[in-house]
Structure 1
């Protein structure tokens, strides 16, 4: 195709996109029934139901971008869900990462990542095609691969978020456990000690304990709340911590001793992990010595002799 035909094709695509955008904006900006009725009924008592959204709230002023691109993104997210599956695994990782997202919202984010990668690759492919029209097919295949890589990259990023959060929980755990043990040893109940620690600490583990405390305050038994924490967490040490608290509360065993022992176990596990990491780093440190320093040393040692032999040899 000639550059003129490419320009006409791009112009037609841009004009079609503008027409679709304008039609969607007109539909979104149309006054909704709730926006016209709520100003007259918002003073009525809200008995037994969730308070209605005020006029002029986000339902009335929906983002134009969300109104235009929301339905296609949701449809694409459904397609990604049908192709990839694994809803249970994704939901589990979202809980472990502490993200307030549903599986569908995560699929939408995957589609957005894929589209960003697709647009960047498409721009590069268009430049390639303008210089060499025979590369149009390979550019299209490259765009599809870029979209798939963007989707997979978001999934890998979620796994990285889970790993970083669990590492942060392990770092916070000994301090939180010691604080709980001190509060319980001072005579406070487990719920009061938990409230004191949550109010005075910040971190990922504190947020998890804050959810447990909120469940307990709504009337849920302490054992059930900590059982849920043990079932949902991805850190075995935190699961054992929750099980230990449940056993101590139900059977009356000394809770302070249990917490001190668990904090000591976590610190010992951290020391072992540090030693293992140092051992692996020691092996990696040998790589530049063996492959860089040693060859240069041998070269400096033998090169003068080789030069001397070549000069003395007739």
Structure 2
């Protein structure tokens, strides 16, 4: 056993022992004096909401005595404060159509990072034991954890972009269907119910949430504005603003929705032309860097070969 192998075994055994000691220390009760907020919180519950009170003030029930947060919960909260969450992440999750809370997303991201760090540590120990240890390999666990966290976040971004594209494609058809229902004599809320009944797709699911919110007592304008704020699609936001203005002023909704459907189709056509222009530039890359150099090589190589042989 050489020195590097001994150091690797020592790091592995010491890390396992340290993790066990930290787990035991985290489970021990804390003997510090309660803070001022903890001492006065039970006497101001009539002016402070329950969710704003410090943790541990309200009585809890359970099979075992409820204590503080676990080590994993504290690590998850610290990671969420470090990376960020809140409204921006909540909006991205809503745009992706995920019912997950930001804390749960960050918890899963942290779990993937910890698992990747563990996998990288195992690979590092195997490399050390087989005498293939190099200086860059020592950073493998950290790089694996960072790549796992970035990949998990990029996966959410890809889901957001894909769902936004599907919503943009479904918007003109949905607006035209609503305008046809209104032209047939139905009310706007009845048209929404009909669309959510016979339609399918991402936008239909969002409209189902609007109808559900209206059925549970929310105003129609507020439910539509909440959907537009949650999705942040320019075409949908314009259509919702025009519908809310028409509902407030009593303007005919069929014409408004038909005009918005035309605008949405023009936006889709313009976006398609822009994508075609970008794809045309990308198509030039293999032509310039692959086909053209090969053509030049085939044209020059016979002459060079003849010159090398000295044939006149």
The CA distance in 2 between the partners of 1:8 and 1:293, in whole Å, is 56
The CA distance in 1 between the partners of 2:242 and 2:12, in whole Å, is 65
The CA distance in 1 between the partners of 2:260 and 2:85, in whole Å, is 34
Please give the residue correspondences for 1:1-314 in structure 2 after superposition, counting only pairs within 5 Å: 1=3, 71-132=70-131, 135=134, 141-311=139-309
The CA distance in 2 between the partners of 1:270 and 1:260, in whole Å, is 15
Deviations 1:156-203 (A, max 9, x none): 222222111111101111111111111111100000000000011122
Tell me if the contact between 1:122 and 1:139 (Cα under 8 Å) persists in the aligned partners. Answer: no
| CA 1:302–1:15: 2 relative to 1, 3 Å | closer
TM-score for both structures, normalised by structure 1:
0.74
Report the number of matched residues.
268
Tell me if the contact between 2:91 and 2:231 (Cα under 8 Å) persists in the aligned partners. Answer: no
State the secondary structure of the residue aligned to 2:150.
Answer: helix
| CA 1:185–1:109: 2 relative to 1, 3 Å | same
TM-score for both structures, normalised by structure 2:
0.75
| CA 1:209–1:127: 2 relative to 1, 3 Å | same
Q: Which runs of 5+ in 2 are unaligned?
A: 24-60, 63-68
| Displacement of 1:256 | 1.2
The CA distance in 2 between the partners of 1:10 and 1:241, in whole Å, is 60
Tell me if the contact between 1:96 and 1:232 (Cα under 8 Å) persists in the aligned partners. Answer: yes
1:24 corresponds in structure 2 to: none
State the secondary structure of the residue aligned to 1:219.
Answer: coil
| Displacement of 1:151 | 2.1
Tell me if the contact between 2:221 and 2:244 (Cα under 8 Å) persists in the aligned partners. Answer: yes
| Displacement of 1:143 | 1.3
The CA distance in 1 between the partners of 2:226 and 2:144, in whole Å, is 40
The CA distance in 2 between the partners of 1:7 and 1:308, in whole Å, is 64
State the secondary structure of the residue aligned to 2:185.
Answer: coil
Q: What's the C-alpha RMSD, in Å, of the aligned pairs? A: 3.2
The CA distance in 2 between the partners of 1:140 and 1:300, in whole Å, is 47
State the secondary structure of the residue aligned to 1:168.
Answer: helix
Tell me if the contact between 2:4 and 2:128 (Cα under 8 Å) persists in the aligned partners. Answer: no
| CA 1:130–1:208: 2 relative to 1, 3 Å | same
Tell me if the contact between 2:172 and 2:262 (Cα under 8 Å) persists in the aligned partners. Answer: yes
| Displacement of 1:116 | 2.5
The CA distance in 1 between the partners of 2:133 and 2:227, in whole Å, is 58
The CA distance in 2 between the partners of 1:177 and 1:263, in whole Å, is 5
Deviations 1:26-48 (A, max 9, x none): xxxxxxxxxxxxxxxxxxxxxxx
The CA distance in 1 between the partners of 2:311 and 2:139, in whole Å, is 63
The CA distance in 2 between the partners of 1:173 and 1:99, in whole Å, is 20
The CA distance in 1 between the partners of 2:15 and 2:85, in whole Å, is 36
| Displacement of 1:312 | 5.1
Q: Which has the higher contact order (CA 8 A, sep 6+)?
A: 2
